[in-house]
Structure 1
Amino acid sequence: MPQEFVPDDNKSEPPNDDSAASEQDILMLTIVGSPKAVRKTILTLYRLGFAEVNDWSQLQRTGNPKQVMSVLIRRKVSTDDTAPRQ
């Protein structure tokens, strides 16, 4: 199992575009569970002001017939890479 996380020198790495990384941070959140649990979590995150319900993807099937998943992709334009203001 630990070998799965060791880099393979024979595989090429994706190009590193530092200019794009400095301009924009991308965060992808995935919720996996029963349809009821996923919907409830999305609603809870909405009530907390985290994301609009319509920002999440439609429920998608997983390899487990009793589970679904939904994805949220957040893009935040970054002006500075310093620590958060206090």
Structure 2
Amino acid sequence: MSEEFIPNSEIYSAPPGSPTPTQPSREPIHISIIGSATGTDLVIKILHRLGFAEARAWSKLQNDPNTGRPMRVLTKWLRY
């Protein structure tokens, strides 16, 4: 797995009044898959096999607000 991404479960917050944390900056990256329910599930399974993300990390099937087509979303955290 790429070192640029870190798990969503890691929290980098310092207690109030503490010095600036030495942890790297993070940015959420949202990845959307839009298509049929079957197609989105297939892509998620392929990405899981490649080690990109756990299948359960993706959102439940929902409708894309722009097209109305089925979609699923994943948030990965980019470290820089």
Structure 1: gaps of 5 or more residues: 1-21, 82-86
Larger Rg: 1
TM value normalised by structure 2: 0.61
Paired amino acid for 1:44: I
TM value normalised by structure 1: 0.57
Structure 2: gaps of 5 or more residues: 1-23
Q: How many residue pairs get matched?
A: 55
Q: Which has the higher contact order (CA 8 A, sep 6+)?
A: 2
Alignment of 1:28-47 (within 5 A): 28-47=30-49
Q: Cα RMSD (Å) of the superposition?
A: 1.6
Of all paired residues, the percent bearing the same amino acid is 33
Higher fraction of helix: 1
Q: How far apart in 2 are the matches of 1:24 and 1:49? A: 21
SS state at 1:75 partner? strand
